[in-house]
Amino acid sequence: MKTPSCPAPSRREANRQSRREAIVDVAAQSFLEQGYAGTTMSAIAATLGGSKGTLWSYFESKEVLFGAVIERVTDAFRAQLSLILNPDDGVEAALRRFCEKFLRKVTSPEAIAIHRLVVGEANRFPEIGRIFYARAPQQTQRLLADFIEGAMERDELRRDDALTAARQLTALVMYGGHQQMLMGLIDALTPEAIEAEVDRAMATFLRAYAA
């Protein structure tokens, strides 16, 4: 927790905090659905029910608000994947479950929207690319790499650079349906399609990294 409950939470501070969150909520929805250019501060204020002056008293500009949205949204992206990697079921089963959950997650409508936003605005806002990468792909790769490293040390996978292996596995899983969704060719992956993608990725990965 970083929230300073130090001297006095003070009703005012609390209100301010929750108000701020409400703003970021509404803004996030709009930015994700409409993109940066398609989002207007006036619409956000209207949806909130408040006045524009109030909105500006929380965020001094659209850009700053956008930054806050990206932080919030990448945070929500992060946690949620860690519990799954349990080596007790065997490496293959653990990896397969991880891939399924991972693929479902990155092909969710929100994840696609974030991805589009980050990539599309990487020119205008160089910071957000770094923020997003550090919090989402890098986090995932590190997690997976740790697991893979363990498996390598137990000789359940061929010994090699674990981070590379992790990246390659995510690459194999993502490059099919995910890319098509990013570019708008398809709107969603059916459960069967997810199964199939994961099967293909796992087959290739295991052949390459068999002990």
Binding site for its own copies (CB under 8 A): 33-38, 115-124, 126, 129-130, 132-133, 137, 164, 167-168, 170-172, 174-176, 179-180, 182-185, 200-201, 203-205, 207-209
H-state helical runs in the chain: 11-34, 41-48, 52-58, 62-78, 91-106, 109-120, 126-135, 137-153, 162-174, 177-182, 191-209
Q: Which is nearer to its own copies, 105 or 116 (CB)?
A: 116
Shortest Å, Cβ 15 to its own copies: 35
Shortest Å, Cβ 20 to DNA: 9
Quickly count: other Cβ atoms within 10 Å of residue 142's Cβ. 13
Q: Which is nearer to DNA, 26 or 201 (CB)?
A: 26
Q: Which is nearer to DNA, 38 or 109 (CB)?
A: 38
Selection from 181, 172, 14 nearest residue 102 by Cα: 172
Shortest Å, Cβ 50 to DNA: 3
Shortest Å, Cβ 6 to DNA: 14
* By the rule CB under 7 A, 35 interacts with DNA: no
Q: What SS3 class is residue 128? A: helix
Residue 19 interface partner, choices its own copies, DNA, none, CB cut-off 5-8 Å depending on type: DNA
Selection from 108, 130, 109, 102 nearest residue 118 by Cα: 130
Shortest Å, Cβ 72 to DNA: 18
* 69 contacts 28 by C-beta, under 8 angstroms: yes
* By the rule CB under 7 A, 182 interacts with DNA: no
Backbone angles phi, psi at 146, to 5 degrees: -60, -45
What residues between 37 and 76 interact with DNA by CB under 7 A?
39-42, 49-54, 56-58, 60-63
Cα separation values, 9 from 21, 23, 37, 53, 192, Å: 16, 20, 37, 25, 50
Footprint on this chain of DNA (rule: CB under 7 A):
10-13, 15-16, 19, 39-42, 49-54, 56-58, 60-63
